[in-house]
Structure 1
Amino acid sequence: MSGAGQPLWRRRSRAAELLRWLGWLLLVLLFVVCWTLMTQEQIWEFVWDAPTQAADLFSRMVPPRWSYMDSLWLPLWDTLNIATLGTLLALLIAVPVAFLAARNTTPSLLLVRPVALFIIVASRSVNALIWALLLVTILGPGLLAGVIAIALRSVGFIGKLLYEAIEEIDTRQVEAVRATGAGPAQVLDYGIVPQILPAFAGIAVFRWDINIRESTVLGLVGAGGIGLQLKASVDVLAWPQVTLIFIVILATVIASEWLSARVRRALI
């Protein structure tokens, strides 16, 4: 109560304020416990010496060895092929999976849809680098393992976004096509596909842009591409070559970002 006898407005009650502060206290306590567990085996002398080591490494990385560029054109081309072919393969798999996962297009909500959703979740749960590591063990080192790894990783991403786009279509257009006596294939062709084509184009280009980034590191586990040159250069401590590879990767990512943005604006 105020001095004039009027009740004072409070944003929260006293009990709510106490619970709020208790929540913050528990959050801080959880952070402290997690930090302690994570750093209990940390050798802090390495951390304190890190700036010196970083400066020494940087001094050995500059200037880049520009003469090494002739050895990077083919691996860079392989990286682009891994991303492109992996994306195309993922589209071939993800499109039917998305239609089977969407509530309004699946033939069975109890049987088919859960299987399609499991495929999407399983694909998104495993990183492309892990897929590549497994495939290199099975198929041997090379570009094929990289292409399949990118495809398996991309299926979940494309399938999830596409089935959500399918579920959000305007049902009135579908009903109008169905009212003309059209069969299921015609309803799909004239009522559903035209509505999801812009989303499909955007998703495909966006995923290709992401795959450019992911394919640059697959060579670290033997799946080909420019990552293979990066690993080889690091193994022999050829730091000027590593710097050049970083520059090439950065330029490639920037170019793919620019290209994908232009394509998305043109298609959507």
Structure 2
Amino acid sequence: MSEITHYKEVWSHRTPRTRLFMWMGWLGLVALFVWCWQLMTKNTIWAFVQDAPRQASDIGSRMWPPRLSYLPELMQPLWDTINIATIGTIGGVIMAVPIAFMAARNTTPSATILRPIALFIIVASRSINALIWALLLVAIIGPGLLAGIIAIALRSIGFVGKLLYEAIEETDVRQVEAIAATGASEAQILNYGIVPQVMPAFWGISVFRWDINIRESTILGLVGAGGIGLKLQSSLNVLAWPQVTVILLLILATVVFSEWVSAKVRHAII
């Protein structure tokens, strides 16, 4: 009588081949990390790195206590910074709205010509940092608030345009079809079927971008685009560390306040 051998199957989350590929993938990532680390630190002077804690402690001791008497001089630059962010955001939103409608599949007048152009504008705007826009504009139109405002606006086009055109594409098709079934024109379909659906997203995106622009506009002065960054740059140049502390604390308070305003407005809208 032959013996019957029973084999007990053992469940495994992954097959041996999958585990092998995963280990090879992790090994490749480790090798890539080591190679990138060597490439980045090739010219690093490690004596400076070892001395960094002492230097940081020395600068920190010079930054305290902050020179609070310097605070009144920062009110006008702070107001300029807020204006740069606000006006730049408004300009960016105004330019981003038609671009978003041209980029959305369900609202673009031409999917073969206008949509690729709109998508290219969105990508180009998002790929260039506001600081780089400011550098270019300062070289073109000179230093001042105008360069900062335009830099913020150009940077905002890509952010607002991308999120808005995605919101347009996610609109409920049934509402649009219901309005179209009444014999409405394309303009009426857009006005009554799509715009009401994207308005909450539009206001939320705009306020969120304004909050981001408050932060970005604080450093545009480092390249001559106006605002409180000019004061920060001048204080750093003369090593006035107590003044730098006051500026940094003021920037922190402004960002916290803008975050609070942004959260309240988004909560009220959405």
Q: TM-score band, normalised by the shorter chain?
A: over 0.9
Mapped to 1, the partners of 2:36 and 2:223 lie a distance apart of 31
Instruction: State the match for 1:126 in structure 2.
Output: 128
Mapped to 2, the partners of 1:101 and 1:155 lie a distance apart of 12
Mapped to 1, the partners of 2:16 and 2:177 lie a distance apart of 55
Mapped to 2, the partners of 1:194 and 1:137 lie a distance apart of 42
Counting only pairs closer than 5 Å after superposition, residues 7-22 of structure 1 correspond to structure 2 as: 7-22=9-24
1:215-257 CA distance string (max 9 Å, x none)? 0000000000000100000000000000000000000000000
1:96-140 CA distance string (max 9 Å, x none)? 000000000001111110000000000000000000000000000
Counting only pairs closer than 5 Å after superposition, residues 77-88 of structure 1 correspond to structure 2 as: 77-88=79-90
Mapped to 1, the partners of 2:241 and 2:253 lie a distance apart of 18
Give the deviation of 1:86 after TM superposition.
0.2
Counting only pairs closer than 5 Å after superposition, residues 1-268 of structure 1 correspond to structure 2 as: 5-268=7-270
Mapped to 2, the partners of 1:183 and 1:17 lie a distance apart of 58
- TM-score, L = length of structure 1: 0.97
Which sits farther off after the overlay, 173-182 or 80-89? 173-182
Mapped to 2, the partners of 1:26 and 1:118 lie a distance apart of 34
Aligned residues: 266
Code of the aligned partner of 1:106: T
Mapped to 2, the partners of 1:10 and 1:185 lie a distance apart of 58
1:139-184 CA distance string (max 9 Å, x none)? 0000000000000000000000000000011111111112222212
Which sits farther off after the overlay, 12-21 or 113-122? 12-21
The ranges of structure 1 where at least 4 consecutive aligned residues each deviate by more than 3 angstroms after the TM superposition are none
For structure 2, the 5+ residue unaligned runs are none
Q: CA RMSD in A?
A: 1.1
Q: What secondary structure, in the 3-state scheme, does the structure 2 residue paired with 1:72 have?
A: helix
Identity %: 68
Give the deviation of 1:13 after TM superposition.
2.6
Code of the aligned partner of 2:253: A
Change over 3 Å in CA distance of 1:182–1:13 after alignment to 2: closer
Mapped to 2, the partners of 1:188 and 1:12 lie a distance apart of 50
Give the deviation of 1:15 after TM superposition.
2.6
Mapped to 2, the partners of 1:218 and 1:101 lie a distance apart of 30
Q: What secondary structure, in the 3-state scheme, does the structure 1 residue paired with 2:225 have?
A: coil
Mapped to 2, the partners of 1:4 and 1:232 lie a distance apart of 82
Mapped to 2, the partners of 1:186 and 1:18 lie a distance apart of 59
Mapped to 2, the partners of 1:122 and 1:49 lie a distance apart of 41
